[in-house]
Amino acid sequence: MRGGTSRLQGDCQPPGRAIWRIAAGSAPTLAPVTSTAPALERAAPAIEQAAKTAVRSAHEETLPTRVALARGRGASAIAALGLAGFLAVFALVRTHRSEAFDLALTMKLQRRRNAVLQRVMAAASWLGFPPQSRIVPPAIIGTLFALRFPIEARFQLLAWCTGLVSSGLKAIMRRPRPVAGTDLRVVAAPLGGSSFPSGHVITYVGTYGFLAYLAHTMIRPRAARRAIVGTLLALLALVGPSRIHQGHHWPTDVSASYFLGTSYLIGLMAVYRRAKERARAARAGSQA
């Protein structure tokens, strides 16, 4: 007791708990400790502003819809050859006319076994194995949604659906995979389904091919655009040989997947362009 008063204070009480303060000649009262809620409320505007800045920066680094649509039309002429190529390979495999060619080419590719090449081939196939094959594509789609590119995100999801096309064809063809032996080498891996077509290749062409298309048509800075598109195209080019080199697929499995994946992109890019044109027209009408 000093100065006619005494005070008992629970200094070690956790935030949000009341502290007893007792003054001489008065009843006990409760004094609430300041909580962390006001601090969070003060930080909320800063967090919201940071998110808006990220979205604005992403849109500033992309080209106008008119330019993006013009760039995309050139790819359709090249992609249109895919369907014819796939049908030709499908017929050869279905009638068992490609077996000698498949075996000879596989043995030729597998003769090259230096350590650097094996690491490159393994790296090219890595994204197609679980769990990363189930994490990376949804992450790309989620990022597009977060940056407020909803049309692109939805079509990126459709691009990922090439895996479903592969599963359907595997159920129809039921082609045996290469078997390790004296002349063939098969790298151990979590494989499923039949050999035709290559699920890795068709999923890569759909998922990362469409992503490359978006990067080519939308990204404004030339250096960034070329770096991203070049990296994705290199991945597409390497995944096919990697599937043969690792002994997981025959060459015709891979070539059919390249053709079918490309033909899938034909329709996807065409529908995407129509969706963008409708969205552009709607914005113009609302601003008129």
Distance CA 45, CA 52 (A): 10
Q: Is the pLDDT of residue 40 over 80?
A: no
pLDDT of residue 152: 96
Helical packing angle, 199-218 and 136-146, nearest 10°: 20
Q: What DSSP character marks residue 62?
A: B
Name the one residue in this structure whose structure tokens are 């800063």: 46
Angstrom CA distances, 82 to 12, 119, 194, 242, stand at 72, 30, 22, 21
Of 156-160, 179-183, 259-263, the least confident: 179-183
Higher local confidence (pLDDT), 186 or 236: 236
Domain residue limits, the chain:
15-60, 64-282
- For the segment 73-83, the average pLDDT, to the nearest whole number, is 68
Angle at 94 between CA 88 and CA 100, to 5 degrees: 85
Q: Is the pLDDT of residue 3 over 50?
A: no
pLDDT of residue 22: 41
% of the chain at pLDDT higher than 90? 54
Mean per-residue pLDDT over the chain, rounded: 82
Q: Is the pLDDT of residue 193 over 50?
A: yes
Contact 74, 209 (CB under 8 A): no
Q: Is the pLDDT of residue 204 over 50?
A: yes
Angstrom CA distances, 12 to 6, 16, 31, 33, 203, stand at 18, 12, 15, 12, 58
Q: Is the pLDDT of residue 257 over 60?
A: yes
* Residue 188: pLDDT band with limits 50, 70, 90: confident
Q: Is the pLDDT of residue 54 over 70?
A: no
Higher local confidence (pLDDT), 7 or 194: 194
pLDDT of residue 58: 57
